[in-house]
């Protein structure tokens, strides 16, 4: 009874107005200009390369917008999943704080009940009446002091209860707000999933109509060399731009058709070399975070995707030329992870390589990830070694699901297997 009366009295106490807490805004103004400049320069480079391409129509180009849209929707879903996870963690923390406050409130309520009960037992004596009754003045002083202390303790406890109630109200409002945000995120996720399913169906239907043309163009002599030349041109221009941006004078990368490969004329459709194509290597490891400079990671890198290393650097390719990197067979949708820390300098669809991602690791080292189903990072974003940056696919007209991976230094391709370990 007394507890109920006490709670009712406490709720009648005046409460200060609640003001919603707003999360701190991260200070990113200093980086906005640099990021905007980088993205505009890369976008200009992409347009320049597109304008300089041959007018010859590629069947895979008809898949371009569909594969771009799939990548974009996947990136949005990835961001929404991260936001949903953060909101769920926030709600769990708010629930924990609410439980703690509930325990504190119950303890405070119990203490206040005891104080009121003591005050009730002592009543509130009249000082004059006590003197007239002939009571001991010293005892009267002690009683009055004790009752005064109880009154002060009661007032303090009431203020503490009022503060606890304020915090509970603030937490309740914060919880409602975060729950509403979570519901919005989940609704948006559902919408994006529907759009992604629709887009995948459209790509599947389009691919079934043009698959013969895609396969025949993929086998055309010289088609592969054109794709490689296009990538080399992109890498060369990126290298120049990055060197200028870093304000470090570096020698102009030589135009790179070769890197020790046999003459293309004698390499057009060489299948005899395939039996010597080395055994297929299985990679079961993921890249890891490292603070070392990229050059010091030679021999200890992990490949960016788990799967079978089918195409190997320097071996002949169907369609002419030789591999400038690796092809790692992997299931569609599996993770592609950055081999080391760096910054994304290209994230766009490109003929022959589909959804292509390039990471700058500094000191003129670049890692290249092609044929992705989706790109989860954008130009200018910093990444850590082992961080998920894309998902495996077969974009760009690739006949099977997997990741095309290259390492380049000063624009020139280098053998990834001399840098990576699969043991």
Tokens 């389009």 found at: 206
Model pLDDT, residue 415 = 95
**Interatomic CA distance for residues 412 and 232, integer angstroms:** 8
Q: Do domains 59-216 and 222-247+276-418 have the same CATH topology?
A: no
**Contact, 343 vs 364, CB < 8 A?**
no
Model pLDDT, residue 295 = 93
**Interatomic CA distance for residues 45 and 316, integer angstroms:** 30
CATH architecture group of domain 59-216: Orthogonal Bundle (1.10)
Model pLDDT, residue 34 = 67
Classify 378 as helix, strand or coil: coil
- Per the DSSP assignment, residues forming a β-bridge with 392 are 372
Classify 120 as helix, strand or coil: helix
**Interatomic CA distance for residues 417 and 303, integer angstroms:** 9
Model pLDDT, residue 306 = 95
Instruction: Give how far the C-alpha of residue 336 lies from the chain's centroid of Cα atoms, to the nearest Å.
Output: 13
pTM for the structure as a whole = 0.66
Query: Considering Cα of 375, then 295, then 300, then 415, what sign does the dihedral take?
Result: positive
- H/E segment holding residue 151: helix 137-219
Report domain extents, the chain.
59-216, 222-247+276-418
Q: Which of 328, 332, 383 is nearest to 358 (CA)?
A: 383
Domain 222-247+276-418 class in CATH: mainly beta
Q: Which of 399, 396, 377 is nearest to 367 (CA)?
A: 377
Sequential pLDDT tens for the chain (423 residues): 334 433 343 333 333 333 334 444 444 444 566 677 777 777 777 666 666 555 455 666 778 888 988 999 989 999 899 888 888 888 888 888 888 888 887 887 777 777 677 666 655 555 555 555 555 666 556 666 666 676 677 777 778 878 878 887 888 888 888 888 888 888 888 898 898 888 888 888 887 777 776 666 666 656 677 788 888 888 988 888 888 877 544 445 444 444 433 333 333 333 334 434 456 788 888 898 888 899 999 999 999 999 999 888 988 877 667 889 999 999 999 999 999 999 999 999 998 899 999 999 999 999 999 999 999 999 999 999 999 999 999 998 888 899 999 999 999 999 999 999 888
**Contact, 404 vs 370, CB < 8 A?**
yes
**Interatomic CA distance for residues 55 and 57, integer angstroms:** 6
**Interatomic CA distance for residues 392 and 402, integer angstroms:** 6
Model pLDDT, residue 237 = 87
């Amino acid at each position: 009874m007394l507890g109920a009366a006490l709670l009712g009295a406490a709720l009648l106490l005046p409460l200060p107005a609640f003001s919603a807490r707003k999360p701190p805004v991260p200070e990113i103004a200093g980086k906005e200009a640099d990021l905007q400049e980088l993205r505009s320069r890369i976008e200009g480079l992409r347009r320049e390369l597109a304008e300089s391409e041959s007018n010859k129509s590629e069947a895979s180009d008809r898949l371009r917008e569909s594969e771009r849209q799939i990548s974009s929707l996947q990136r949005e879903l990835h961001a929404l999943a991260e936001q949903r996870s953060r909101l769920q963690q926030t709600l769990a923390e708010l629930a924990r704080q609410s439980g703690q406050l509930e325990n504190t409130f119950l303890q405070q309520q119990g203490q206040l009940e005891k104080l009121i009960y003591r005050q009730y037992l002592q009543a509130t004596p009249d000082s004059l009446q006590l003197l007239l009754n002939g009571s001991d003045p010293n005892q009267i002083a002690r009683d009055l002091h004790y009752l005064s202390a109880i009154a002060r303790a009661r007032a303090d406890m009431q203020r503490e209860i009022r503060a606890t109630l304020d915090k509970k109200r603030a937490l309740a409002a914060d919880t409602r707000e975060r729950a509403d945000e979570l519901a919005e995120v989940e609704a948006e996720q559902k919408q994006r999933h529907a759009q992604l399913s629709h887009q995948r169906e459209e790509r599947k239907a389009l691919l079934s109509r043009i698959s013969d043309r895609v396969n025949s163009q993929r086998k055309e002599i010289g088609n592969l060399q054109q794709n490689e030349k296009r990538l080399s041109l992109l890498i060369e221009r990126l290298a120049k731009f990055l060197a200028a941006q870093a304000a470090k004078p570096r020698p102009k990368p030589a135009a790179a058709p070769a890197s020790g490969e046999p003459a293309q004329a004698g390499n057009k459709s060489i299948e005899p070399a395939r039996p010597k194509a080395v055994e297929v290597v299985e990679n079961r490891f993921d890249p890891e975070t490292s603070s070392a400079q990229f050059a010091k990671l030679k021999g200890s890198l992990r490949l960016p995707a788990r799967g079978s290393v089918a195409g190997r650097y320097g071996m002949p390719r169907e369609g002419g030329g030789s591999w400038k990197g690796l092809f790692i067979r992997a299931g569609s949708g599996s993770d592609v992870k950055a081999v080391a820390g760096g910054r994304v300098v290209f994230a766009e669809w490109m003929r022959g390589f589909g959804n292509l991602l390039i990471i700058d690791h500094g000191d003129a080292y670049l890692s290249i990830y092609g044929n992705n189903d989706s790109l989860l990072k954008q130009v200018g974003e910093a990444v850590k070694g082992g961080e998920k940056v894309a998902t495996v696919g077969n974009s760009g007209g690739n006949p099977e699901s997997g990741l095309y991976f290259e390492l380049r230094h000063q624009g020139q391709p280098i053998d990834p297997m001399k840098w990576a370990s699969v043991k």
